[in-house]
Structure 1
Amino acid sequence: MENSMMFISRSLRRPVTALNCNLQSVRTVIYLHKGPRINGLRRDPESYLRNPSGVLFTEVNAKECQDKVRSILQLPKYGINLSNELILQCLTHKSFAHGSKPYNEKLNLLGAQFLKLQTCIHSLKNGSPAESCENGQLSLQFSNLGTKFAKELTSKNTACTFVKLHNLGPFIFWKMRDPIKDGHINGETTIFASVLNAFIGAILSTNGSEKAAKFIQGSLLDKEDLHSLVNIANENVASAKAKISDKENKAFL
């Protein structure tokens, strides 16, 4: 008994040593999926940073992106200065990269309201026919307000078409709802329209209302430009009327 007690006592007094253990390295391979989402597969983070045209957000080249956008929108013509960062923000929608990059939501809201104001002024001053008052001043065509054409000037379809005709689409960073569906379903129409409004908002907030108004009147509402909002809206209204006429004709058959 004494020996056993002594053994226990001695065992308790033994210095604490490191436990013997076997270290085994385990190598794991993680597959990062690129492309459409598939349940159970982890997506490559880099895929979040590419727009539908395949442009990587972190590798945007100013000469290939921002400078081309300035030229397309004719910003130097009106003495408008926008930084590379602000232009990239105008081109970025909230849906891109889970909203982790500066996006254009507030600039879009600001620009949309200012565009409505300028299109109202345009409709008032450019009525057909343009009547003159007795004192020589141009009379305002209030009857033009609220017409289908006036509404079409600021519609998403018109703004989206403007962006497409000016080849701004490849520079826009956004996420499609459904790549298989058309523009109305996958969000293209709304997002492309927001980009144009965002540029107006950016110009207004950084360069002032005077330059913003000149930009709208000169680049967006110029009747001589086949790709202006005015001519796009006219085509949209004419197309809508033609569809209604076709339906009425078929109804009588």
Structure 2
Amino acid sequence: MTSKRSIRTLISSANSSLRPTQPARRTFAPTSASTSACTFTTSTPPHNPEYETEAADRPRWQQTPARMITPFRIRPQPKGPVFKVNDDPRRLDEAYMRMLGPNGDKALSEEVKWLAVTHKSFDHGRRGFNDRLAFLGRRIVSLQTSLALLNSPQCLAPPEMDSYGRMPYTHPALSGLPGLTHEAKDSILDKTRLAPIAERYGLDKVTRWKPQRADNLQGSGIEAVLTTSLYAIVGAIALERGGEIANKIVQEKILSPLGFMFEN
């Protein structure tokens, strides 16, 4: 007859055989290949030495930011001739000296000189463009034009007495007021009148833009582009040289060729 101790031993061994066995814990020792594939890092990836050298050696106006260059071209190449954009600093300095006078090439910093003649259509605006400078310059030119219209002589008939025997009030300071109208100012600052002035200073040879058709610059809007460059130069002069010099440039280089006379 089997003893109680042997029965208990049999039952305990049976229970242990019925329990689910736990899987053995494996220690994963990552290899070099798995580490490179699974490890995440927040450090900045190393830059291409070619881009670093190019960015260090070339100024900003002369290069497109490396991270803004697409790896392949999306649009097809345009048909027709290719428009050549000026990249010669000496040619740009000649245009500034022609417009601003002697030492005009030193009136602005190198970066701003190129920015003032860069339209937003050039290089998709990735090197900066002159819209903000032109906005400021347009306001300055508009103000000086209004003052010139107020001070310009008007050919008006002498005032006559009305039926009640009253004489209209007149004053020398108000003599130019009838000429200060939106129509008069818009006709003076029309792009068809300002574009030839910009061409006289050679801005058509140095303005950086991309026409829709290189064989039809007039239809591509060259007059508006040149007018924007003219305004942008005035805005740049106001920011770097002050409003007094900018007002003098507007009077002598823009409004005087349009027929206005100013006292020295």
Which shows bigger deviation, 160-169 or 192-201?
Answer: 160-169
**Structure 2, unaligned runs of 5 or more:** 1-72, 157-170
Which is higher, the Rg of structure 1 or of structure 2?
2
Alignment of 1:224-243 (within 5 A): 228-230=257-259
State the distance in 1 between where 2:86 and 2:250 align: 30
**Which residue is 2:235 aligned to?**
201
Give the match's secondary structure for 1:177: coil
Return the offset for 1:181.
3.6
Question: Greater RCO between the two (CA within 8 Å, min separation 6)?
Answer: 2
Identity of aligned residues (%): 23
Return the offset for 1:166.
2.6
Which one of the candidate residues 91, 103, 127 is aligned to 1:101?
127
Return the offset for 1:127.
2.3
Return the offset for 1:150.
2.7
**Which residue is 2:210 aligned to?**
175
Return the offset for 1:56.
5.0
Q: Which runs of 4+ in 1 moved over 6 A?
A: 77-80
Return the offset for 1:125.
0.7
State the distance in 1 between where 2:227 and 2:243 align: 20
**Which residue is 2:249 aligned to?**
215
State the distance in 2 between where 1:86 and 1:95 align: 17
**Structure 1, unaligned runs of 5 or more:** 1-31, 39-46, 131-135, 223-227, 232-253
**Which residue is 2:199 aligned to?**
164
Contact 1:108/1:194 (8 A) holds in 2: yes
State the distance in 2 between where 1:108 and 1:75 align: 21
**Which residue is 1:238 aligned to?**
none
The code of the aligned residue for 1:162 comes to I
State the distance in 2 between where 1:182 and 1:79 align: 27
**Which residue is 1:248 aligned to?**
none
Q: Call closer, same or farther: CA 1:167–1:152 in 2, change over 3 Å.
A: same
State the distance in 2 between where 1:145 and 1:77 align: 35
The code of the aligned residue for 1:205 comes to L
Which one of the candidate residues 141, 149, 155 is aligned to 1:115?
141
TM-score by length of 2: 0.57
1:134-168 residue CA offsets vs partner (Å, 9 max, x unmatched)? xx965540111126443222122222121123322
Q: Call closer, same or farther: CA 1:89–1:182 in 2, change over 3 Å.
A: closer
The code of the aligned residue for 1:64 comes to R
Contact 1:80/1:211 (8 A) holds in 2: no
State the distance in 1 between where 2:192 and 2:235 align: 19
The code of the aligned residue for 2:193 comes to T
Return the offset for 1:206.
1.3
The code of the aligned residue for 1:229 comes to L
Tell me the number of residue pairs that the alignment of Structure 1 and Structure 2 aligns.
173
Q: What CA RMSD, in Å, does the superposition of the two structures yield over aligned residues?
A: 3.3
Q: Call closer, same or farther: CA 1:84–1:230 in 2, change over 3 Å.
A: farther
TM-score by length of 1: 0.59
1:6-53 residue CA offsets vs partner (Å, 9 max, x unmatched)? xxxxxxxxxxxxxxxxxxxxxxxxxx9xx9525xxxxxxxx9xx8x3x
Contact 1:125/1:139 (8 A) holds in 2: no
Give the match's secondary structure for 1:186: coil
Give the match's secondary structure for 1:64: helix
Q: Call closer, same or farther: CA 1:75–1:84 in 2, change over 3 Å.
A: farther
Which one of the candidate residues 152, 172, 196 is aligned to 2:187?
152
Give the match's secondary structure for 2:100: coil
The code of the aligned residue for 1:187 comes to G
